[in-house]
Structure 1
Amino acid sequence: MLAPSGKSCGSAEFQTAPGSCANFIDVGYDGTVVQQLPAGIDAPSCTPGEPCRSCTWRWWPGFFR
């Protein structure tokens, strides 16, 4: 994390699974961290012959307050 001055003031790590690729992560105005997990972590039920999509999110309210 960087302060408005640009000075480093800490760090945080939000792991998903060993060997997983980078995924979407964002911080809201209130300091809440929101992370979209990779599709491989989700266990969706898919209809054969149809596209299979999954969408799982994790969040930490006010983490960076």
Structure 2
Amino acid sequence: LEKKFPHLLLRINRNALINRKELFGIHRTRSAAFAKLQSIDLQPQISRRNLAAIKEILRNDK
């Protein structure tokens, strides 16, 4: 799905895809990073592997 719809979906870890439009920030703790999503309170964990790419997307989308 992420390859078919790269403009809509974003992989944040190996088990989760999110809607790019819902992502508005990152919440960091000492040991992990979590995606802040607009329409739900759930904050799924972002893998270390995907964190740099997600930061770049947030910078470019603003």
**Higher fraction of helix:** 2
**Higher fraction of strand:** 2
What TM bracket, shorter-length normalisation? 0.3 to 0.5
Question: Greater CA radius of gyration, 1 or 2?
Answer: 1
Q: What is the TM-score with the length of structure 1 in the denominator?
A: 0.33
